[in-house]
Structure formats: structure tokens, C-alpha cells
Chain A
């Protein structure tokens, strides 16, 4: 299984500012995923990030609000732009298992509070 780290683990930000969350994997992976988990809710996929191509966003999420970078096979960033209190959530990155495995391995998450 992959070991995934995220930075920061938590942050408190003022509305109107932006925060960039980093996701580092201990092995090379093709696809990385970014999820949001709002308080008391389940996980919602924001986008899929493949190295060397533009991220693919799910309905309701746009690149201007959540720009994603994927500069290599072990790293990705998600930026939450022009934040509002509604963006307060846990943001998680994940990767697929090795080979043809379909399961995903998740980072510990970044807890974001917007005031």
C-alpha cells in the first residue's frame, strides 16, 4: 500500500484568501484524487489529477476555484481559492493501489476552517 502525507494538517484562514494543500506519495502513481469531506458528510470527489495532463473536475467543481497541479508522479497540490466559510472542510488526497488494484489509499487529510 502507498503511504501518503499531506501538508498542512490543518489551517485557519480568512475569507477571500487562498490555501494550497500538498500531497506527497511514497511511490509513483498515475492517478491522484482530491476529495472534500464537509462536516458530518461523506467524501465528495473534487477532481482527478493525472501527471502531464489537465485535471478532470467533477460536476460542481471548477478549475478557477480549485486549481490543481501535478508536476510529477509522486506529488500534487490543490489550491482552494478566494475562500468563504462554506469551504470549511477536510480535504483529502488519494491514490489507487498498485497494478490493477481498484482500492484507494488516502492521506490523513487537511482540516480547513475559513473565518
Chain B
């Protein structure tokens, strides 16, 4: 069966460091991979999308990589700030009907 795994343990890092979150998947051939941010009591907010034929995408302090051979995406936040503290979700789309399958999310805590 299809499976999307993110580190269920919270990631605690110091302000200014780079946070790296992992998304691994099995039995899936996504056309697109997306990353979302979710704060408590709120809906997810879209951050970045990367296509299957792209290796890397950047947006300001965010960087996403996509390795379809390893079936893995890495999400980096450089120069992290306490305001980056949230749960980060990866989501895969096969390319048909726009349906997203979400991972379990990783909670990031950035401390001073």
C-alpha cells in the first residue's frame, strides 16, 4: 500500500541554524510533491511545489529537493527563526484528479 513517512518526532533546533525535514514514500509515483505548514488550530498553508522532473526548488529561506530514485524529499529552512515553529506536512499528487495524499507531518520547534 502507499505510504508517506515523515519523522514523527519533533525536531528541535536553535535559531539561526538550518532545519532539515524528511519525507519518504513507498509504492507511489508522484508527479508533484508539495510542502505545507500547519499551525495549531489552522488549516495547512502551501509553501512549495516540486515536480518529478525537478531536483531542487527554492523560495526565500526555503529549499526543497526531490529524489525520485530514493523516493525522498528534503525540506530545508535556512536561518531558522522561532516564527518557523509549526508542523510541516509533505503531500504527494499522482497527477490525476488533483488528489493529495499527506504525510503525518513533522513538528519543528525553533528556540532562541
Contacts and interface: CB of A to CB of B under 8 A. Distances in A.
A24 to B, nearest CB: 14
A106 B105 contact: no
Contact of A109 (B43, B46, B98, B99): B43
B43 A108 contact: yes
Contacts, number: 54
Contact of B43 (A1, A31, A42, A94): A94
Contacts of A104: 44, 46, 98, 100
B102 interface: yes
Give the interface size class of chain B. 20 to 34
Nearest to A10: B41
Interface in A24-45: 31, 33, 41-45
Please classify how large the interface on chain A is, using the bins under 10, 10 to 19, 20 to 34, 35 or more.
20 to 34
Interface of A: 1, 4, 31, 33, 41-45, 48, 56, 58, 92, 94, 96-97, 102-109, 111
Interface of B: 32, 34, 41-46, 49, 89, 93, 97-105
